[in-house]
Chain A
């Protein structure tokens, strides 16, 4: 059946033997190549207003050519189609440049690469196929036979493209809807992200069910696929499936959600994404992103700072020399810590005499901070303030002291 597709392409190639078609194709190709050469020569960056302005040149050139050829009584549909597609490209580029002003450029570029470019490519192909052959006609061409069922070009294209675009295109509307729901229902960031993710999975699921329905998958085929998956799950993709289910469970349970702060390998990390297979954690100490399989959180003990609330009780240890009065030292420590802007007033900080160490007395001050990920920097600020306070009050931070005894030989 695949030969049907080759036969179709052969027919399209045969159209190039017509002078009017060849003329249009060559003119469009020449104009686009000239435009491309100009871009390479000018070395303009991809997202650039000058680049957009330059796009007017091929559009105008093609339009003029279409007028001339049309006056000669020859068809110009291909040139007009190319002009229309270029206009759409120009509009998309303008939108991209505008969005870069108001949204983080990296996000805009990411969406551009993942969604807009593939969509535009599909649009170009669909427009060409529809004009040359008719979309219905081409999509009805039988291509494959599986599970006793015939798959046409249209259904196979749907099978390949729809899952991709479901995953990619569901991102933006879900984020917008999540934002609106978050404002209306007063959701926290974590809840909102969980809601968005669940909504996205639901959209993808509904889309895939629709696709199965469109393809006309019969129950026998579905049973065969399910049987194959069962074996696959038992051997090869057990871990993948386990991670996927774990991720869904974590979302429903709400124990690990995007935005949460967890301790992973001794470091506090923020959950950036909860994916199908793994969670992406961000470690601020070295700006690293860790991909942790969802199953890990499902089977191992997880320490979180953002379960019930996001407050973290932090501590700083400091030593003072033995000859200083401990009560005065504790008082000074508390007064110093309370003055720190990022240390919460409530719950109140407290300090205790922790240990009689070798070189001095160890004190520990406990205080609360609003965001767990700020612990390292706030602790630094607290230590610095304590050093200054100790110095002002003449309190010595002792160096380690060792008594070395040496016996002289008799």
Chain B
């Protein structure tokens, strides 16, 4: 008779012993600092790598974070970092699913709107880092995220929007919207985005951008919901009409995605596009020295457009053990320290540090000069500002598209935008749903 490897009873006993050994191993049997088998703390890091369609942005962010992780691991071998890149659309569902098990990430990196949603849904919790620890880093925009005596999230890096153009075709970039149109009429091919928060900068000159952003950001005070004032309505209408007229010009082309714009620009089908700084490394690879960067054109050279910048945030998970939370805070401090922020800026093009101690070498680099100039005139989103339009980007962009292609007249588009703002009054109340102290403090208190 064939002899069995183990009897049923003995198999179970062996299985149980193996499981026990595994748990012991995990609980740090050989995980003391200095032990070579396993680091003492494992840290789960979740990175929102942008929307599924944003492949250039994904590659850029991965390059940035992987470098930082490698640097941190070298100096902190006792911490094992487990980094996962998740598309923006799946982040909330992923964290919900993992948090149900108690296995949620310890640290998340995402853009402001997603960081806000995570805070609102209780998937993240305020940072345990104090002003004493964060103060020396002089983080810009930090105070916007204050929640009581702590911070709901920490700013990590900035990626402003700017103008990318082909130097071979355009010797000098257009400095005003009127000049942009003129350049288009002269035969240069201009590319604009159909995504509202990526095209709303064109409304700066009309005074339409601020009311539009406020429409979705301001807390609701009237039972009937929010609406634009007569003047603001007129401004937004003028801007919508301009967008429609711009599309009539065959040399001004609109695209559904920023990736499409970038691809057509790299294929030299377009000579000038509005772009986010995250796409610069990709464009540089394709165009080399032909790539020119400038501030987005506004009313004049002295009054550039105000574009909504992209701010990456660091949030902290709710399921961490004490050791993991401490390690997560160490990692966050590492990401924000002078050295890392400087490396972030120099390792890859298209990033501005949030650490004010880091000097941006604007005289040495035209690229950084253009990015910093764009940032200085940019609208940086916070939990209270310029975040509503981003959260409603799909229906809003659809309305903009219908308006641009003449399917609905500007007045109807505006009416539908207002209706959307009223129906989504919950978005208007975002600020009030934040943890205590999450609203903006006195601007004078900012660094």
Contacts and interface: CB of A to CB of B under 8 A. Distances in A.
Interface of A: 7-8, 10-11, 13-22, 24-26, 29, 33, 36, 40, 74-78, 80-81, 130-134, 136-137
A77 B324 contact: no
Nearest to A40: B9
Interface string B310-327: 000000000111011000
Q: Which of B26, B28, B84, B323 has the most CB of A within 10 A?
A: B26
15 contacts: A10-B38, A11-B82, A13-B26, A14-B42, A14-B44, A14-B82, A17-B323, A25-B23, A33-B12, A36-B12, A40-B8, A75-B100, A78-B102, A132-B98, A133-B84
B94 interface: yes
B134 interface: no
Contacts of A26: 23
Contacts of B324: 17-18
Contact of A13 (B38, B84, B86, B102): B38
A48 B28 CA distance: 42
Contacts of A25: 23
Given A21-B101, A29-B19, A33-B16, A11 B9 contact: no
Nearest to A136: B90
B23 A16 contact: yes
B22 to A, nearest CB: 7
A76 B99 CA distance: 9
Contacts of A13: 22, 25-26, 38, 42
B44 A134 contact: no
Interface in B14-28: 16, 19, 22-23, 25-28
Interface of B: 8-9, 12, 16, 19, 22-23, 25-28, 38-39, 41-44, 80, 82, 84-86, 90, 94, 97-103, 319-321, 323-324
A134 B84 contact: yes
Given A13-B26, A77-B102, A131-B98, A137 B84 contact: yes
A137 B12 CA distance: 32
A30 to B, nearest CB: 10
Contacts, number: 104
Contact of B80 (A10, A18, A40, A75): A10
A137 B82 CA distance: 12
B82 A74 contact: no
A128 B38 CA distance: 23
B55 to A, nearest CB: 14
B99 to A, nearest CB: 7
Given A17-B41, A81-B101, 5 more contacts: A11-B82, A14-B43, A17-B26, A40-B12, A75-B100
Contact of A18 (B22, B23, B100, B103): B103
Contact of B28 (A15, A17, A132): A17
Given A20-B319, A133-B84, A15 B16 contact: no
Nearest to A21: B102
Contacts of A136: 90
Contacts of B90: 134, 136
A70 B86 CA distance: 28
Nearest to A17: B321
A219 B97 CA distance: 40
Given A14-B26, A33-B12, A19 B321 contact: yes
A405 B26 CA distance: 99
B319 A18 contact: yes
Given A10-B42, A10-B80, A24-B102, A134 B16 contact: no
B99 A134 contact: no
B23 A75 contact: no
B93 to A, nearest CB: 9
A137 B45 CA distance: 13
A36 B103 CA distance: 27
Q: Which of A17, A33, A40, A76 has the most CB of B within 10 A?
A: A17
Nearest to A23: B102
Contacts of B94: 134
A8 B98 contact: no
Nearest to B20: A29
Contacts of B22: 13
A29 B102 CA distance: 17
Nearest to A7: B82
Nearest to A19: B321
Nearest to A138: B84
A154 to B, nearest CB: 15
A405 B119 CA distance: 120
B41 A14 contact: yes
A132 B148 CA distance: 32
A11 B327 CA distance: 14
Given A10-B80, A78-B101, A133-B84, A17 B19 contact: no
Contacts of B43: 14
A132 B101 contact: yes
Contacts of A74: 102
B56 to A, nearest CB: 18
A33 B12 CA distance: 8
B103 A132 contact: yes
Contacts of A130: 97
A296 B23 CA distance: 56
Nearest to B42: A14
A13 B41 CA distance: 10
A255 B38 CA distance: 63
Contact of B42 (A11, A75, A77, A131): A11
A45 B41 CA distance: 45
Contact of A17 (B8, B27, B86, B99): B27
Nearest to A18: B321
A14 B101 contact: no
Nearest to B319: A18
A137 B95 CA distance: 13
A133 B23 CA distance: 19
